[in-house]
A and B are shown apart, each in its own frame.
Chain A
Amino acid sequence: MVMSSRADEARPVGHRDDAGAGRPARKSPRATGVRNVRAHTYPYWFYAPAGIVYGLIFLVPTVISFYFAFTRWTLFESEFIGLDNFRQFFSEQALVSGLRNTLVYAVVTSGLKVVLGMLLAVLLTGPIRSRGLMRSVIFFPVLVSTVAVGITFSVLLQPDVGVVSTVLAKLGITAPDWLGDPATALLSVALVDVWKGVGLATLIYIAGILAIPRDYYEAVDVDGGGAWTKFRNVTVPLSRPATFTVILLSLIGGLRSFDLIWTMTGGGPGFSSDVIASIIYKTYQAGFFGLSTAGNVVLFILVTLIVYPLSRYFNSREVES
């Protein structure tokens, strides 16, 4: 843009104007005035208080983790050891299974939250009398502390004497040792995670479903379609933005999830429910700070590799529809 000073003058106050940098030095006094007004009204130093805290406590550690992950580190001194930490991470069986568990946990929880969240939302936007109360009941666990939920369910899921096993026994079903059996431990924790988090997914879906114009449903009525057709051909495709949101949120939460697993199983039995976040904690406790930081870098890369392309894809799909 080659600008005469007149054009600059014509700009209204507060008009989007990110020039300034890389613009010819010739500026009219008036234009400088406008920019000054903007600098006075929306000063950049408003970023400073937040920026300093965020920079020091979040950005700096994130950046330096990429150095310390390659070191043997005591917090006081560090020795560069190249890729050794990562080699250890990917060769020790316990750590490798942690990587797999993280993925399983994230996929299972987000899949179930999508399915159950959508079903509950359909139910709770229907003609049910107690739906307001039910929405609150399903949402409340989201606000309860994860530790409290974890302890409560590890008691409910106790083998033989626990409430869940007793009820199932009355129905003639022999319950597994939910948290004590390596085969079921991780999935049991994942189910509790879904119990705690599905309320948020449900509310996101409810917002999405209520935003669907009624005409579409009426059109199905006119064509003589039933409830299934409405669900299959209207609700599911038109609540796609809600689905994207739920998937992204639960993947981000599921990949870094720690507190529920830690309170319910501590990563056990053995290493059967260890995830990257619990390995980071264990290696930290054992004093392997470099290895722990390498775990953090692995988690960072995993989250970025999964979430970033997915959100790009979702955004492009949303623009299309």
Chain B
Amino acid sequence: MRAARRTSLEVVAILVAAVVFIVPFIFMFVTASKNESESADLAFSLPTQWTVLDNIKEVFEARDGILFTAFRNSAILTVVSVTILVVVCAMVGYVIQRRPGRVANVANVLVLSGLIIPPAVVPTIWVLQQLHIFKTLPGLILVEVAFNMAFCVLLFRAFVAAIPRELDEAAMIDGCTGLSLFFRVIFPLLRPVTITVILTSSVFIFNDFVNPLYFLPGDENATVQLTLYNFLSQFNTQYNLLFMNIVLVTIPPLILFIFFNRKIVAGMTSGAVKG
């Protein structure tokens, strides 16, 4: 009797959780599929008339196709930043783990600071201006690399610890040192954690709103999150287009999540636990 009551309580809890976590996504999707007047009701209902394709077309045509520019910029930003992050953080993670000592201690403190300290905004803009890369995509790429570095180094460092040193020594005897040892022997072995780093940091950078807002203002440089934010004031009567934009921005992480669920979860929780 008590067991039965407990199970039914659990069932209720699961149902509530399911509703709370799934309904907002269904709402996004149905609103994105409605026509303009129907979407203005803000109701949780099926569209009487599905206008998915029209809405996609219209949202891409809005403001001279700014969404195309935004997707292109976000793609470049994400791919280039993640590529740089993987290479430079793998190198740091390797040396930091293999060569303990005063230098490694300093590096470890810096990694922890990077996780905790909120970046100083205006001084960063000032530095970017001195380097003549403020309001440029390369500037924002460097910002994303710098701000995501600590997390990636943590993941790499933990993984390097699991690679036996004997491997380095064997490679050394074969005459490999430094760069060639790292890129020929170690880096290929880091593949699992490299995939995790690629997935988690792509999601972070693609979803980033604050840094583009500060460091890459302006329409010609729009990223998807900034465009979505600006659509909020522009489309405040066309909820169907606003939500179509939301759906489009949610699809890339959804695809990654469907295919790499375990990898992403592993990356986020292990990085979290060590931080």
Chain A residues in the interface with B (C-beta under 8 A): 13-14, 16-18, 21, 37-38, 40-44, 46-47, 49-51, 53-54, 56-62, 64-65, 68, 73, 75, 119-120, 123, 126, 128, 130, 134, 136-149, 151-153, 155-156, 158, 161-163, 166, 195, 200, 203-204, 207, 226-227, 241, 245, 248-249, 252, 255-256, 258-259, 263, 277, 280-281, 284, 289, 292-293, 296-297, 299-300, 303-304, 307-308
Contacts and interface: CB of A to CB of B under 8 A. Distances in A.
Contacts of A42: 94-95, 98-99
Nearest to A67: B123
B264 A143 contact: yes
A141 B21 contact: yes
B178 A292 contact: no
Contacts of A120: 17
A31 to B, nearest CB: 15
Contacts of A163: 23, 27, 42-44
Contacts of A68: 122-123, 126
A145 B250 contact: yes
A162 B101 CA distance: 59
Nearest to A154: B232
B22 A284 contact: no
A74 to B, nearest CB: 10
B261 interface: yes
Nearest to A299: B118
B17 A138 contact: yes
B242 interface: yes
Contacts of B232: 151, 263
Contact of A147 (B146, B228, B256): B228
A134 B92 contact: no
A123 B120 contact: no
Nearest to A294: B122
Contacts of B168: 14, 41
A136 B17 CA distance: 12
* Top 8 A-B residue pairs of the complex, sorted by shortest distance between their CB atoms: A18-B101, A65-B120, A61-B123, A57-B146, A50-B88, A145-B207, A42-B99, A46-B91
Interface in B235-250: 239, 242-243, 246, 249-250
A126 B14 CA distance: 11
A128 B106 CA distance: 47
A46 B92 contact: yes
Contacts of B41: 161
A191 B96 CA distance: 39
A59 B28 CA distance: 40
Contacts of A166: 43-44
Given A259-B209, A307-B116, A16 B20 contact: no
Contacts of B125: 75
Interface residues of B, number: 99
A125 B203 CA distance: 27
B145 interface: yes
Given A49-B91, A140-B257, A18 B124 contact: no
B260 to A, nearest CB: 11
A123 B15 CA distance: 12
12 contacts: A16-B101, A21-B102, A43-B178, A50-B149, A58-B124, A120-B17, A123-B13, A123-B14, A156-B27, A207-B269, A241-B273, A284-B214
Contacts of A138: 17, 21
B253 interface: yes
B62 interface: no
A41 B131 CA distance: 33
Interface in B155-204: 165, 168-169, 172, 177-178, 181-182, 203
Contact of B122 (A142, A146, A296, A308): A296
B60 interface: no
Contact of B127 (A61, A227, A280): A61
B178 A41 contact: yes
Contacts of A249: 272, 275
A156 B103 contact: no
B56 interface: no
A64 B119 CA distance: 12
Nearest to B101: A18
Given A65-B120, A296-B120, A161 B42 contact: yes
B225 interface: yes
Contacts of A158: 42
Contacts of B100: 16, 18
